[in-house]
Chain A
Amino acid sequence: MTLLVIDWWFILEKALLIGGIIGLSFFIAMYTTLAERKVAAWLQDRRGPNRAGPFGIFQPLADGGKLFFKEEIIPLASNKFLFILGPALAMITALLTSTVIPWAAPFVTQGGNVIPMQVADVDMGILLVFSIVSVGVYGIMIGGWASNNKFSLMAAIRGASQMVSYELPMGLCLIAVLFMTGSLKMSEIVANQVQNGWHIIYQPLGFIIFFVCALAECNRTPFDLPEAENELNFGYHQEYSSMKLGFYLFAEYINMFISSAVMVTLFFGGYDIPFVNEASWGLSSFWMTAISFAVIMAKISFMLFVFLWIRWTIPRFRYDQLMNLGWKKLIPLALVNMIISAAVMLLLNK
């Protein structure tokens, strides 16, 4: 009698996928740090780092190596357990969100097995992303509190309230999108867009609000109040050094990458290739998967560029401006957007 039948192929397939996605996240995050410095330089008429390797492509390795060899300092008055838990939590939540994103068109093997390029196609898909993102705030809060530093604590409080208040308009925009798809499943959200056109066409306002909120959720400029250098020194990671600091900084870039991926999946058709009917090309399943993966990566890269572009254009908001924008402007706008899309959906009888 067998109590448990384990499909070893299934486990191998998922393990490969998970390893690949984590590796990809780290790789992209690494090179986003370089891209950040390069874009900053270009937008300011400079050249950016170009000493480590051709065009500075080994710069992230040099930065990472430096962080590893830095002295590890844990403040005497800090809570050691929470102090270490903070960056770990930030990193874990950043990586976890990538599970439900469909990274490419499903791969069909010779034997007819369909392998989805998605770690878990759970029914609550996008909701899972939101719940994990809201856990992400604990990384900041725990780190800021455990440091036993008033600046860190203030930054942590700011970060928490900022993230909580910007999740609301984000969720409201999402509801408008879900009216159209009728499903929380990521694969169905993409399939709906492949069929009926990208959601950005029907929900431009929804996308803009979602994007602004994503900036706030990732603690990116203009909403990088938790780390505000000039008023809070370095914010919640002030007391951190070495790779613990590296984890916080890295988690921010991974968050950027994942939120770009989420936005691409929700509004820009995920791995869909625009303007063409790729099914008529008659390519093999392997090439379809590869091309669709390249397409989603290109879209994500563009979104990341917009993140960087915004950072080097506008200064940081003041705290009251941030809260006013979130509660008095974005939430009403998102509500109006939601009601209008609901009314239109009713009129069209869908």
Chain B
Amino acid sequence: MLTQRAKEVDRKPMTFLESIYLWNIMKGMGITISHLFKKKATINYPEQTRTFSKVFRGLHVLNRDAEGRENCTACGLCAVACPAEAITMEGAERLPGEEHLYREEKYAAKYEINMLRCIFCGLCEEACPKDAIYLSQTFAPANYGRKGFIYKKDDLLIPHPIENKEAYEAALGDKPAKN
């Protein structure tokens, strides 16, 4: 069926001038040489980086409150919400004298995210009732082994907002400090 844009295939035998291909090759060379002056699509990666949009979903960060206490209560809602089953955690009870470390009575003693399984959908962030986890604007760097992609609590936890203020603010990025 012929649409408006369809062109019928020309099956006429080539004339002698066409059959030495010269004119068509020159036309093609004109097209390629015009690309010499076009803007390059490549970004020189290590020196330049692409700017991400504000809603980019990158590596996870475990949040602290303004006094530097961990928000996570190991409720497990993020692990339930995770479609890729990338999150593992173990809860523990806060002991007397640890109030400056954890905000509530229960905390995550172990918290692991397997970045090879993670699909960076952000459902964990949406599921969290305590604002304890959010996705930052960086991505997981390359690694030599699978083990290196299982991020422990140390890798995920945001720097302390009082002891290490600059790093905290850098990690926060565009996200406004909540709570």
Contacts and interface: CB of A to CB of B under 8 A. Distances in A.
Nearest to B28: A313
Contact of B32 (A43, A46, A208, A329): A43
A16 to B, nearest CB: 38
B35 A314 contact: no
A46 B29 CA distance: 17
B21 to A, nearest CB: 8
A47 B40 contact: yes
Interface string B33-75: 1011011111010000000000000000000000000000000
Contacts of A46: 40-42
Contacts of B33: 43, 309
B28 A45 contact: no
A177 B22 CA distance: 22
Interface string A316-350: 00000000110001100100000000000000000
Nearest to A328: B19
A46 B42 CA distance: 6
B142 interface: no
Interface string A22-51: 000000000000000000001111110010
B32 A309 contact: yes
Contacts of B35: 42-45
A119 to B, nearest CB: 35
Interface string B82-110: 00000000000000000000000000000
B162 interface: no
Contacts of A330: 20
B25 interface: yes
A309 B20 contact: no
Nearest to A325: B20
A290 B141 CA distance: 53
Contact of A45 (B16, B19, B38): B38
Interface of A, helix, strand, loop or mixed by DSSP: helix
A45 B40 contact: yes
Contacts of A43: 32-33, 35-36
- Size band of the interface chain B makes with A: 10 to 19
Given A208-B22, A329-B19, A312 B44 contact: no
Contacts of B31: 313
A42 B36 CA distance: 5
A330 B42 CA distance: 41
A61 interface: no
B29 A310 contact: yes
A47 B33 CA distance: 15
Contacts of B20: 325, 329-330, 333
A314 B41 contact: no
Contact of B41 (A45, A312, A325): A45
A25 B41 CA distance: 34
Interface string A45-86: 111001000000000000000000000000000000000000
A310 B20 CA distance: 15
Contacts of B39: 45
B130 to A, nearest CB: 46
A47 B22 CA distance: 29
A43 B35 CA distance: 5
B133 to A, nearest CB: 38
A131 to B, nearest CB: 28
Contacts of A50: 44
Contacts of B25: 310, 313-314
Nearest to B35: A43
Interface of B: 16, 19-22, 25, 28-29, 31-33, 35-36, 38-42, 44
30 contacts: A42-B36, A43-B32, A43-B33, A43-B35, A43-B36, A44-B35, A45-B35, A45-B39, A45-B40, A45-B41, A46-B40, A46-B42, A47-B40, A47-B42, A47-B44, A50-B44, A208-B22, A309-B29, A309-B33, A310-B29, A312-B32, A313-B25, A313-B31, A313-B32, A314-B25, A314-B28, A324-B19, A329-B16, A329-B20, A330-B20
Give the top 9 A-B pairs by smallest Cβ distance, nearest first. A313-B32, A43-B32, A313-B28, A47-B42, A329-B20, A313-B29, A45-B41, A42-B36, A43-B35
Interface of A: 42-47, 50, 208, 309-310, 312-314, 324-325, 329-330, 333
